[in-house]
């Protein structure tokens, strides 16, 4: 029997490496899907139980030290930590992802501001894309109701409301989506990691009034976190975007139609100018390379994506998302 040639040995070794990587990806994908499923189940379970318990509590013991709004906001903090953090901490432990691999260098302030401007422009595009998708669905008889804003009445509840709408999502969602999820997938390539983390980030919003915008913002946030080597970039952009959305939403509550139209035009102008300035600075002054490179993973991205999404836990997750999003429509 002839001994294998060097080329045959190299091909066999490459095949073994690819097989091991695919198996690793499928296992990690399954664990990630289970983490997201647990995220959704905990969210709905706690929301249902919380409404029932708080309603009974308020009926028997009217709030004295804290208003009902403050108690609701405190419950929202607990809900965030239990549903949107705990499953992914377990996932990171199960796949052996060390938190020190989350990039956390201090971004250069002018670059950070430029990235924020570009992200605001992407947010504007995402809002337009959401309006287009919502309009198309409306023609099909599917309507996804807007998310109402309920402003608390006392100062402590207002503080908690700002924390829950601006600060907590920026820190927690970036730590989970751009830290744990994106970071744990970077071994298979930055482009795949950014794409998958953005898709899950969008789907976790669970309604079509937010999914298109969230997906585009997820791509931008993931891209800038990778390029600046810092999770702080994503946190800062996320926080500023949330703050502006809240300010515009609160400011429009008492406006008439003409004032609301003027505010919308100002927002478009402000976001557009910020995006142009950011792009000019990054491309013409800093001459930043805006491309994402593939890692040294010897498997094509198409094959990686197929193996990542076509396994039993991930298919179950996609079916769960389809059901949850369908329930968000009214006809």
Q: What is the pLDDT of residues 104-162, one digit of tens each?
A: 999 999 999 999 999 999 999 999 998 898 888 888 888 877 777 778 888 888 999 99
pLDDT (0 to 100) of residue 60: 59
pLDDT (0 to 100) of residue 53: 67
Spatial contact of 83 and 177, defined as CB atoms under 8 Å apart: no
d(CA 120, CA 113): 11
Q: Which residues of the chain have pLDDT under 50?
A: 1-3, 9
Q: What's the chain's Rg over C-alpha atoms?
A: 22
Residues constituting the chain? 331
List the one residue out of 167, 203, 234, 195 whose CA is nearest residue 324.
Answer: 203
Two tokens, residue 97: 């992802």
Q: What is the pLDDT of residues 293-317, one digit of tens each?
A: 766 667 778 888 888 888 899 999 9
Q: Map the chain to HEC letters.
A: CCCCCHHHHHHHHHHHHHHHHHHHHHHHHHHHHHHHHHHHHHHHHHHHHHHHHHHHHHHHCCCCCCCHHHHHHHHHHHHHHHHHCHHHHHHHHHHCCCHHHCCECCCCHHHHHHHHHHHHHHHHHHHHHHHHHHHHHHHCCCECCCCCCCCCCCHHHHHHHHHHHHHHHHHHHHHHHHHHHHHHHHHHCHHHHHHHHHHHHHHCCCCCCCHHHHHHHHHHHHHHHHHHCEHHHHHHHHHHHHHHHHHHHHHCCCCCHHHHHHHHHHHHHHHHHHHHHHHHHHHHHCCCCCCCCCCCCCCCHHHHHHHHHCCHHHHHHHHHHHHHHHHCCEC
pLDDT (0 to 100) of residue 294: 65
pLDDT (0 to 100) of residue 35: 96
């Amino acid at each position: 029997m002839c001994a294998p040639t060097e080329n045959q040995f190299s091909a066999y070794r490459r095949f073994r490496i690819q097989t091991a990587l695919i198996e690793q990806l499928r296992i990690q994908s399954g664990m990630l899907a289970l983490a997201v499923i647990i995220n959704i189940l905990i969210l709905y379970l706690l929301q249902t139980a919380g409404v029932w318990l708080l309603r009974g509590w308020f009926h028997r013991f009217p709030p004295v030290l804290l208003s009902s709004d403050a108690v609701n906001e405190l419950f929202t903090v607990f809900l965030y930590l239990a549903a949107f953090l705990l499953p992914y901490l377990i996932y990171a432990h199960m796949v052996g992802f060390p938190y020190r691999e989350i990039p956390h260098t201090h971004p250069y302030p002018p670059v950070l501001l430029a990235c924020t401007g570009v992200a605001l422009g992407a947010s504007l595009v995402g809002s337009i894309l959401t309006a287009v998708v919502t309009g198309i669905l409306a023609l099909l008889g599917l309507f996804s109701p807007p998310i109402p804003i309920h402003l608390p009445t006392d100062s402590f509840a207002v503080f908690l409301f700002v924390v829950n709408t601006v600060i907590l999502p920026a820190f927690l969602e970036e730590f989970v989506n751009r830290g744990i999820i994106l970071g744990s997938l970077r071994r298979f390539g930055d482009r795949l990691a950014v794409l998958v983390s953005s898709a899950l980030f969008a789907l976790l919003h669970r309604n079509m009034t937010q999914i298109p915008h969230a997906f585009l913002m997820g791509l931008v946030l993931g891209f800038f976190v990778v390029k600046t080597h810092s999770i702080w970039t994503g946190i800062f952009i996320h926080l500023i975007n949330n703050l502006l959305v809240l300010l515009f939403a609160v400011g429009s509550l008492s406006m008439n139609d003409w004032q609301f139209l003027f505010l919308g035009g100002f927002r478009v102008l402000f976001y557009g100018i910020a995006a142009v300035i950011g792009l000019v600075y990054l491309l013409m002054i800093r001459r930043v390379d805006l491309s994402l490179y593939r890692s040294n993973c010897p498997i094509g991205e198409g094959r990686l994506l197929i193996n990542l999404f076509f396994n039993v836990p991930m298919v179950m997750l996609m079916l769960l998302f389809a059901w949850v999003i369908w329930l968000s429509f009214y006809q």
